[in-house]
Amino acid sequence: MKRLRTILIGTLLAVVGGLCAAPAWAADNDAAPTPEATEEANPVDVKEIVFGHVGDAYEWHITTIGDTHVTIPLPIIVHSSTTGWHAFLSSRLEENGGTYEGFSIAPEGSPYEGKLMERDASGNEVRPLDISITKVTLALFINSLLLVIIVLSVARWYRKHPKETGAPGGFVGLMEMLIMMVNDDVIKSCVGPNYRKFAPYLLTAFFFIFINNLMGLIPVFPGGASVTGNIAITFVLALCTFFAINIFGTKHYWKDIFWPEVPWWLKVPVPMMPFIELFGIFTKPFALMIRLFANMLAGHVAMLILASLVFITASMGPALNGSLTVASVLFNIFMNALELLVAFIQAYVFTMLSAVFIGLAQERKAE
What ranges in 55-191 are assigned the alpha helix state H? 91-95, 135-160, 170-180, 189-191
Cβ 314 vs Cβ 321: under 8 Å: yes
Average pLDDT over residues 189-197: 89
Give the pLDDT confidence score for residue 180 in this predicted structure. 92
More confident residue, 34 or 118: 118
Distance of CA 83 to the CA centre of its chain: 34
The H-or-E segment that residue 5 falls in is: helix 2-26
Indicate the pLDDT class of residue 225, thresholds 50, 70 and 90: confident
- What's 185's DSSP letter? I
Indicate the pLDDT class of residue 272, thresholds 50, 70 and 90: confident
Give the pLDDT confidence score for residue 46 in this predicted structure. 67
Average pLDDT over residues 178-202: 91
Average pLDDT across the chain, whole number: 81
Q: What pLDDT, in 10s, does the model give residues 60-89?
A: 888 878 778 888 899 999 998 888 999 999
- From the number of C-beta atoms within 10 Å of its C-beta (0-12, 13-18, 19+), residue 131 rates as middle
Residues 335 and 338: their CA atoms lie apart, in Å, by 5
Give the pLDDT confidence score for residue 198 in this predicted structure. 93
Average pLDDT over residues 299-308: 79
Give the pLDDT confidence score for residue 22 in this predicted structure. 39
Residues 325 and 319: their CA atoms lie apart, in Å, by 10
Which residues of the chain form beta strands (DSSP E)?
Answer: 59-65, 68-73, 75-80, 84-89, 99-100, 103-105, 116-119, 125-126, 129-130
Cβ 54 vs Cβ 61: under 8 Å: no
Least confident of 41-45, 132-136, 316-320: 41-45
Residues 6 or more apart whose CB falls under 8 angstroms from that of 266 comprise: 272, 273
Residues 301 and 311: their CA atoms lie apart, in Å, by 16
Q: Tell me the DSSP string of 38-86.
A: HHHH----HHHHHHHHHS--SEEEEEEETTEEEEEE-EEEEEETTTEEE
Indicate the pLDDT class of residue 124, thresholds 50, 70 and 90: confident
Residues 215 and 217: their CA atoms lie apart, in Å, by 5
Residues 6 or more apart whose CB falls under 8 angstroms from that of 199 comprise: 183, 187, 191
Phi, psi angles (nearest 5°) of residue 129: -70, 115
Average pLDDT over residues 101-106: 88
Residues 221 and 250: their CA atoms lie apart, in Å, by 46
